[in-house]
């Protein structure tokens, strides 16, 4: 499809002053263009909305295990275990709020000026770098907390040898998952760093 739509150059009075609509504009307008597939747009829009809603549900579900542990085992926990669970639960809430905010931002495109959009996007990617970094390190910190919790129970005599063996298996399995999570978060961090550099150079090239 060539430039057959009815949007043409504005009248000279509306067009850029003191800059004649020269051959360059005519040449630009004559370039080959692609037709937008509206059915595909509608379908993508629908699936994108559904996907975003599911992501938000999943984000919210991530705190369910914490809440479950909180209410189910709270009375049976030692003071240290209670503090650890409380710390993890409270520290995860800002992440959840930020994650939900990011999703809502992504869901609604705004007609911001490009300079503002670029600045905001750069800031957002910078935050993503930080989050990926923190997620990466939260894996081994989480494991350290878990090990601390297990040791605390062991030394307080709450663990039988059978329970201890089961815990070692569980901890080993979690370690493997955490290792995979660490690698995934590291890759995300590196990707966001590259995006950040790209945006920074875009903003600097004036």
Partner 1 sequence: MQEFEDVFAQYGALLSRVANSYEANEAMQQELLQEIAIAVWQGLSRFKGDSSVKTYILKIAHNRAVTHVASQVKRLDTHQYDHDNIGSDGFLSTTNSPEEVSSQQQSLERLLHAVRALPLQPRQVLTLSLEGLSYDEIADVCGLTKNHVGVILKRARHSIMQEQPHA
Binding site for partner 1 (CB under 8 A): 1-10, 14-17, 19, 21-25, 27-38, 40-42, 44-45, 48, 107-118, 121, 125, 191, 194-195, 198-199, 202-203, 205-206
Minimum distance of partner 1 from residue 159's CB (angstroms): 45
User: Given phi > 0 = left and psi -120 to 50 = alpha, else beta, which region is 110?
Assistant: beta
Q: End-to-end distance of the chain based on CA atoms, in angstroms?
A: 33
Residue 115 burial (C-beta neighbours within 10 Å; 0-12, 13-18, 19+): exposed
Nearest CB to partner 1, comparing residues 151 and 202: 202
Nearest CB to partner 1, comparing residues 61 and 115: 115
Residue 138 burial (C-beta neighbours within 10 Å; 0-12, 13-18, 19+): buried
Nearest CB to partner 1, comparing residues 8 and 72: 8
Nearest CB to partner 1, comparing residues 48 and 137: 48
Minimum distance of partner 1 from residue 124's CB (angstroms): 10
Minimum distance of partner 1 from residue 126's CB (angstroms): 12
Minimum distance of partner 1 from residue 106's CB (angstroms): 9
Nearest CB to partner 1, comparing residues 4 and 76: 4
Minimum distance of partner 1 from residue 117's CB (angstroms): 4
């Amino acid at each position: 499809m060539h430039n057959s739509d009815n949007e043409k150059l504005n009248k000279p009075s509306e067009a850029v002053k003191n800059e004649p609509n020269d051959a360059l504009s005519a040449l630009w307008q004559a370039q080959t263009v692609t037709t937008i597939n509206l059915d595909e747009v509608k379908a993508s829009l629908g699936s994108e909305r559904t996907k975003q809603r599911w992501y938000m549900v999943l984000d919210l579900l991530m705190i369910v295990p914490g809440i479950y542990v909180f209410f189910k085992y709270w009375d049976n926990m030692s003071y240290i275990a209670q503090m650890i669970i409380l710390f993890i639960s409270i520290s995860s809430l800002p992440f959840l709020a930020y994650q939900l905010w990011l999703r809502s931002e992504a869901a609604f495109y705004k007609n911001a000026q490009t300079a503002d959009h670029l600045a905001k996007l750069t800031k957002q990617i910078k935050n993503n770098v930080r989050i990926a970094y923190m997620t990466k390190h939260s894996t081994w910190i989480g494991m350290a907390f878990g090990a601390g919790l297990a040791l605390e129970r062991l030394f307080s005599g709450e663990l039988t040898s059978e329970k201890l063996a089961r815990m070692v298996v569980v901890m080993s399995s979690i370690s493997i998952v955490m290792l995979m999570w660490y690698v995934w978060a590291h890759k995300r961090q590196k990707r966001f760093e590259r995006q950040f550099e790209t945006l920074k150079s875009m903003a600097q090239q004036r």
